[in-house]
A and B are shown apart, each in its own frame.
Chain A
């Protein structure tokens, strides 16, 4: 099976702009979670989507939003970018069959100037 894919791999934006990141989960996986990873804070959970519904949400401001489509692909949007949003954004997918093992994509490196 193909793994989790994320596009784009690298992004450079300026403050105030918005950005959309995309994630395609492993075939058959219906849960998609998003994480932000920075050297100072480690891996921080953003939100989880399951069957097109947001099921869990981390402690991030409303500028961070997401959605999931009927084919389980997910997008994450960050509006009004701030310098502190520079990070590696990771997507992880999980099968809904009772296992909670998550499989991560390669990540999108976002740099905000």
Chain B
């Protein structure tokens, strides 16, 4: 059974304090690894798709990386507006295109 586990569940940072969120995945052949940002009461907003180990993608203060077992979302010099829940999901090559989602990391950035 495919599994995606995110850690930590919650993270509090001071503005400017860089950190990383972890996403560990167990799928039968990774097809794609996805990161989303979700604000309270809203739908997840797509951030990145990663396909192979060693791949990296960046957007503003966010950088996503991928290894054969996990993905990291690095947040550099975060601002209060980066506060949100970050969701990770993975699809497997042997199955459907339906992703398995992690429970998310709730990030709060204090000014």
**Size bracket, chain A contacts:** 20 to 34
Hey, which chain A residues are within 8 Å of B101, CB to CB? 42-43
List residues of A (36-60) whose CB comes within 8 Å of B's CBs.
42-43, 45, 48, 55-56
Instruction: Say how far A11's CB is from chain B's closest CB, in angstroms.
Output: 14
In the docked arrangement, what's the CA distance between A33 and B100, Å?
13
**Size bracket, chain B contacts:** 20 to 34
Asked if B98 and A45 make an inter-chain contact with CB atoms under 8 angstroms apart, the answer reads: yes
Instruction: Say how far B64's CB is from chain A's closest CB, in angstroms.
Output: 13
Instruction: Say how far B45's CB is from chain A's closest CB, in angstroms.
Output: 7
With A42-B102, A90-B43 known, 5 other A-B pairs at CB within 8 A are A6-B43, A43-B101, A48-B98, A99-B49, A104-B36
Q: Which 8 A-B pairs have the closest CB atoms?
A: A104-B43, A100-B97, A43-B101, A104-B44, A42-B103, A107-B43, A106-B43, A101-B49
